[in-house]
Amino acid sequence: MNKQHFLLAVSFLTRVPVHFEQEIENNALSEASGYFALVGLLLGVTLAAVYGVASLIFPPSVCVILTLSLGILITGAFHEDGFADVWDGFGGGWTVSQKLSIMKDSRLGTYGASALILLLLLKFQLLSLLSNSFTQVLCALVLGHTLSRAMATSIIGKLAYVQEDAQSKVKPVAMSLSSHAKDFLALTSLCALFVLWLFTPLSLMGVIILVAVLFLTRQLCINWFKQQLGGYTGDCLGAAQQCCEIMIYLTLVALWV
Q: Tell which residue, 161, 133, 142, 110, has the closest CA to residue 210.
A: 142
Residue 1: predicted pLDDT: 74
Q: Tell which residue, 85, 3, 12, 82, has the closest CA to residue 43.
A: 12
Residue 182: predicted pLDDT: 86
pLDDT at 236 over 70: yes
pLDDT in tens, 17-50: 988 777 666 577 778 899 999 999 999 999 999 9
pLDDT at 180 over 70: yes
Residue 168: predicted pLDDT: 45
| Distance in angstroms (rounded) separating the CA atoms of residues 257 and 255 | 6
Residue 215: predicted pLDDT: 97
Dihedral sign from CA coordinates of 99, 69, 125, 44: positive
Residue 40: predicted pLDDT: 96
Residue 25: predicted pLDDT: 67
| Distance in angstroms (rounded) separating the CA atoms of residues 112 and 109 | 5
Domain range summary for the chain, segments of one domain joined by +: 3-15+28-162+173-256
Q: Is residue 80 exposed (0-12), middle (13-18) or buried (19+ Cβ within 10 Å)? A: buried
Please, what is the average pLDDT of the chain?
Answer: 91
